[in-house]
């Protein structure tokens, strides 16, 4: 009788726990990849469940939509990029940064080692491939200044998202917009050593690459803080157990179990924010000034309009 009663109580507790779990919809910036490791590891180790959350991770059909869906309250959290955050703020979208996943720029100018290009000055007269205009032009223009050049000294060619293939085929001499933890490895996997010029080493203010956005109306919702606390646990476990978490990721996503993603998992580790909640005020204000000076935003908005550190 006692055993039956205990089973009944345990079952009731399981039902109550399931009912109490709050659902959180996380809209990714792109298809699942090693950049999302802290989120995936938090799920692996049960940190979300422990926080009383039922987290649904949703890759986007259209990468431009997740922030807009969260702004429209059709999702709880969007994964996005600090450089884009100012554009959303300028549009008046009710979005605010509540956390950071990757706190280092990943963008780089890549050239082939055989190209003879060893400095910004060597890019004079060269063709540079890119995927997205606007910020890339401001970034490239700033970097070229370090070699005494301007955008007028190079030819920018939109290669859509064929950065590596266009570089390897000799259609362009360099590409900007590839990530140092992905495209660089992809080039190496093709048997060629790239030369990388990282944006923050050539006059561009450092920024957070991957950030967590929430709707302004939801910032005080306890489940947002619970999500971020669980994300921090996921980050800590990831950094302490990189091989174990990679193996779990590879098992869960066998289509991604290849050298490119395995190397990216390793290479991205030092770029993850150890404290995802911490907000670097100077960094955010500095990048906002950079965009304003390059006329990509019309005004320098108050930090509180687009970024907060949850208490």
- Please list the residues that pair with 198 across neighbouring strands: 108
> pLDDT value at position 131?
87
Strand, helix or coil at 197? strand
- Which segments of 150-299 are extended strands (E)? 155-158, 174-179, 194-198, 210-215
> pLDDT value at position 270?
97
Strand ranges across the sheet with 127-130: 155-158, 127-130, 174-179, 107-112, 194-198
> pLDDT value at position 15?
46
Percent of the residues in the chain that have a pLDDT greater than 70, as a whole number: 94
State the total domains in the chain: 2
Nearest to 128 by CA among 152, 104, 146: 152
- Please list the residues that pair with 100 across neighbouring strands: 211
Mean pLDDT of 91-97: 97
- DSSP state, residue 253: -
Q: Is residue 196 part of a domain?
A: yes
Higher-scoring residue by pLDDT: 238, 7:
238
Confidence of residue 134 (pLDDT cuts 50, 70, 90): confident
Specify the CATH number for the domain of residue 259.
3.40.190.10
φ/ψ of 213, rounded to 5, equals -110, 145
- Give, in order, the Cα–Cα distances in Å from 34 to each of 205, 245, 253, 274: 24, 11, 11, 16
> pLDDT value at position 20?
73
- Give, in order, the Cα–Cα distances in Å from 39 to each of 137, 236, 295, 311: 31, 11, 34, 20
Pair (78, 115) in one structural domain: no
Pair (70, 218) in one structural domain: yes
> pLDDT, tens digit, for every residue of 138-149?
999 999 999 999
Residue 142 is part of which domain span? 107-201
Pair (158, 211) in one structural domain: no
Q: Is residue 144 part of a domain?
A: yes
Q: Provide CB contacts within 8 A for 283, sequence distance 6+.
A: 205, 206, 207, 208
Q: Is residue 26 part of a domain?
A: yes
Pair (97, 113) in one structural domain: no
What is the 3-class SS of 205-246, one letter each residue? Answer: CCCCCEEEEEEHHHCCCHHHHHHHHHHHHHHHHHHHCHHHHH
Q: Is residue 11 part of a domain?
A: no
């Amino acid at each position: 009788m006692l055993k039956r009663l205990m089973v009944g109580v345990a079952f009731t507790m399981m039902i109550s726990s399931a009912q109490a779990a709050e659902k959180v919809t996380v809209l990714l910036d792109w298809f699942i990849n090693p950049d999302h490791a802290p989120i995936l590891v938090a799920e692996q180790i049960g940190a979300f469940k422990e926080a009383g959350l039922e987290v649904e991770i949703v890759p986007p059909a259209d990468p431009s939509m997740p922030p807009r869906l969260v702004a429209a309250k059709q999702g709880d959290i969007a994964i996005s990029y600090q450089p884009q955050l100012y554009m959303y703020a300028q549009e008046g979208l009710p979005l605010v940064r509540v956390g950071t996943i990757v706190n280092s720029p990943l963008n780089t100018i890549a050239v082939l080692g055989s190209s003879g290009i060893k400095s910004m000055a060597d890019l004079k007269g060269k063709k540079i491939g890119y995927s997205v205009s606007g910020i890339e032009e401001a970034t490239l223009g700033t970097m070229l200044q370090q070699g005494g050049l301007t955008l007028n000294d190079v030819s920018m060619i939109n290669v859509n998202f064929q950065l590596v293939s266009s570089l390897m085929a000799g259609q362009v001499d360099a590409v900007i917009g590839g990530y140092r933890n992905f495209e660089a490895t992809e080039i190496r996997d093709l048997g060629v050593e790239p030369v990388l010029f990282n944006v923050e080493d050539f006059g561009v203010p450092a920024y957070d690459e991957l950030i967590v956005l929430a709707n302004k109306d939801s910032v005080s919702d306890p489940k947002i803080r619970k999500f971020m606390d669980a994300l921090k646990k996921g980050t800590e476990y990831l950094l302490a157990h990189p091989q174990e978490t990679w193996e779990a990721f590879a098992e869960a996503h066998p289509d991604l179990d290849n050298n490119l993603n395995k190397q990216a998992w390793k290479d991205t580790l030092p770029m993850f924010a150890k404290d995802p909640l911490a907000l670097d005020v100077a960094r955010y204000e500095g990048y906002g000034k950079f965009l304003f000076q390059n006329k990509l935003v019309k005004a320098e908005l108050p930090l509180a309009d687009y970024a907060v550190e949850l208490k």
